């Protein structure tokens, strides 16, 4: 795995949501542990952080946190069994997840919203800019986004959010940005943000997706942020405060992502992610594509 160097070294991964869209699978298991082919979704996210040079990872966990911690920890018993069997390939796969990054955990007592989850990271993060990666948002490893965001943060200071152009009819599912162009095709200056606006009130079709590089000033703003939509402390509301008053923590820029992204917290997108990634795998892809072709032709 190649690693680029950046000033930003800490990543925060909120994974304390209830995952109600995936019940009953998420009754006793965090949704971030659901497998995408043969790795839990969260491992792709940690790998993405490490590839962008962020090897200090703080995971914000809630109830059912054990599987998340265990996945990134050593499993000596299993490792020994595989070693005794001489199964080096599987042993390497097991060891990979525990060697990936320096993992830290903090507990979010009650799931009081994404903004509250980010605030739980304040003591660990300190006063440096840091990245936030949502545990159920999967960015295709071939379309690097985070490294571009850290680059923009280093150029302009302040905070950087990831945006994606969506069909205006589905903007009500996302946070939405009012933004002005900059000299760079994939970078905009954000002036306002709205959480899940209707198509009529949405200032653009630029939807916020689950990657952020934040100035630590966001913590002070979050402490003052009242519960918003759904009674939760919304990260978008705090970012809106930062965007409308750059004296608080610098400007807010947006990187417009045009690559492949899957919301693995959504059942349809989760299935699409598995099919796509399985098709592209060298080991599984050829057989799976053949099967899929004949399945689709029988069904159509």
Note the maximum CA span of the chain.
63
Question: 151 to each of 4, 187, 273, how far by Cα in Å?
Answer: 11, 11, 28
The answer to whether 19 contacts ligand UTP (rule: CB under 6 A) is yes
Regarding 43 and contact with ligand UTP (CB under 6 A), the answer is no
Q: Establish if 272 lies at the interface with ligand UTP (CB under 6 A).
A: no
| Contacts of 79 by beta carbon, 8 Å cutoff, 6+ apart | 91, 94, 95
Q: Which is nearer to ligand UTP, 119 or 152 (CB)?
A: 119
d(CA 9, CA 129): 9
Asked whether the beta carbons of 234 and 261 are under 8 A apart, the reply is no
Part in contact with ligand UTP (CB under 6 A); list of ranges 19-27, 72-80, 243-251, 282-290 = 19-27
Cα pseudo-dihedral 22, 28, 31, 35, rounded to 10:
-100
Question: Which residue among 53, 113, 175, 249 contacts ligand UTP (CB under 6 A)?
Answer: 113
Q: Which residue has the tokens 């159920």?
A: 136
Tokens of 229: 């939509």
Can you read off the two tokens belonging to residue 41?
């979704």
Binding of residue 40 to ligand UTP (CB under 6 A): no
| 108 sits near ligand UTP (criterion: CB under 6 A) | yes
Q: Tokens standing for 171? A: 């903007």
Q: Which is nearer to ligand UTP, 112 or 156 (CB)?
A: 112
136 binds ligand UTP (CB under 6 A): yes
Binding-site size for ligand UTP (CB under 6 A) equals 20
- Binding flag, residue 124, ligand UTP (CB under 6 A): no
Q: Applying CB under 6 A, which part among 92-100, 113-121, 174-182, 221-229 lies near ligand UTP?
A: 113-121
Residues near ligand UTP (CB under 6 A)? 14-21, 60, 108, 111-114, 116-117, 134-136, 265
């Amino acid at each position: 795995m190649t690693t680029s160097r950046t000033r930003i070294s800490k990543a925060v991964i909120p994974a304390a949501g209830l995952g109600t869209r995936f019940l009953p699978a998420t009754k006793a298991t965090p949704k971030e542990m659901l497998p995408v082919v043969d790795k839990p979704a969260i491992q792709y996210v940690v790998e993405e952080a490490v590839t962008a040079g962020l090897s200090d990872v703080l995971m914000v966990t809630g109830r059912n946190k054990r599987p998340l911690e265990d996945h990134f920890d050593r499993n000596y018993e299993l490792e020994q069994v595989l070693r005794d069997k001489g199964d080096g390939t599987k042993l390497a796969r097991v060891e990979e997840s525990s060697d990936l990054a320096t993992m830290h955990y903090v507990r979010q007592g009650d799931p009081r919203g994404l903004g509250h989850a980010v605030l739980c990271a304040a003591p660990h993060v300190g006063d440096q800019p840091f990245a936030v990666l949502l545990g159920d948002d999967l960015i295709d490893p071939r379309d690097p986004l985070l490294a571009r965001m850290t680059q923009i943060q280093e150029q302009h200071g302040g905070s950087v959010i990831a945006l994606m152009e969506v069909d205006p009819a589905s903007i009500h599912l996302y946070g939405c940005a009012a933004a002005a162009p900059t000299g760079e095709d994939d970078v905009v200056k954000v002036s306002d943000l709205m959480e899940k606006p209707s198509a009529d009130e949405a200032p653009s079709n630029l939807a916020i997706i689950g990657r952020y590089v934040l100035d630590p000033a966001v913590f002070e703003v979050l402490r003052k942020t009242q519960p918003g939509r759904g009674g939760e402390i919304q990260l978008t509301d705090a970012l809106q405060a930062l965007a409308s008053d750059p004296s608080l923590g610098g400007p807010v820029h947006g990187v417009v992502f045009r690559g492949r992204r899957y919301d693995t917290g959504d059942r349809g997108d989760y299935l699409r992610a598995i099919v796509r990634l399985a098709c592209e795998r060298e080991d599984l892809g050829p057989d799976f594509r053949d099967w899929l072709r004949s399945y689709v032709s029988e069904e159509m």
